[in-house]
Amino acid sequence: MNLKLKVPSIPIEGTISYEDWLKGRRYRRELSKLVAPGVIRRKRSSSDRRLKKLFNGERGLPFTPTEKL
């Protein structure tokens, strides 16, 4: 993978625009998945009861696949 930065960074100072944040989503996901593949959502937490009730037995909505980001 080419790690040369292709998208706007989330800066320390200042505000990243919504459009720039959206543009960086796929690249951030690709980087993250290089070191922690798959969905790493915790399997359980103290909020399980309410989460599973709202999300049909899951702990949240399914994540958007990388290719669709």
Residue among 3, 49, 57, 67 that touches another protein (CB under 8 A): 3
Residue 67 CB burial class (10 angstroms; 0-12, 13-18, ≥19) = exposed
Q: Is 2 in the site for another protein (CB under 8 A)?
A: no
What x-and-dash track marks residues 19-48 binding another protein by CB under 8 A? --x--xxxxxx-xxxxxx-xxxxxx-x-x-
Q: Which residues of 22-37 are buried (b: 16+ CB within 10 A; e: fewer)?
A: eebebbebeeeeeeee
> What minimum distance in Å lies between the beta carbon of 1 and another protein?
8
Decide: is 14 part of the binding site for another protein (CB under 8 A).
Answer: yes
